Copies of this chain bind each other. A is one copy, B any other.
């Protein structure tokens, strides 16, 4: 019988089965162009320079884009605090 937790964080899901690890994907795209969506409806495009244990991210050539992908601000290098990140995906130009 396992003790139950239902907190927001850290909430644990028990054993899922033999799967790779989502962070492997992150490791594979270091140095690649990415799209990063943040909580506050902010979308960044830039080069994923590094990711730390808290999913804090540093991006190079970081641009904030609007819903039509138009650049609204060019930040150069930016540090994004991990808990604001919703998703990260490769920017192959089609996104």
* B-binding residues in A (CB < 8 A): 1-28, 30, 35, 37-42, 44, 49-58, 62, 73-90, 92, 94-95
**Identical copies of this chain, number:** 7
Q: A26-B79, A40-B39, A80-B86 are in contact. Are A51 and B4 (CB under 8 A)?
A: yes
Provide the main secondary structure of the chain A interface. Answer: mixed
Return the contact of A4 from the options B3, B4, B55, B80 (Cβ within 8 A).
Answer: B55
Return the contact of A42 from the options B10, B11, B14, B86 (Cβ within 8 A).
Answer: B86
Return the contact of A9 from the options B2, B44, B83, B95 (Cβ within 8 A).
Answer: B83
Q: How far is the CA of A5 from the CA of B55 in the complex (A)?
A: 6
Q: How far is the CA of A7 from the CA of B7 in the complex (A)?
A: 7
Tell me if B79 and A25 are in contact (CB < 8 A). yes
Q: A38-B86, A40-B86, A89-B78 are in contact. Are A6 and B56 (CB under 8 A)?
A: yes
Closest chain-B Cβ to A77's Cβ sits at a distance in Å of 6
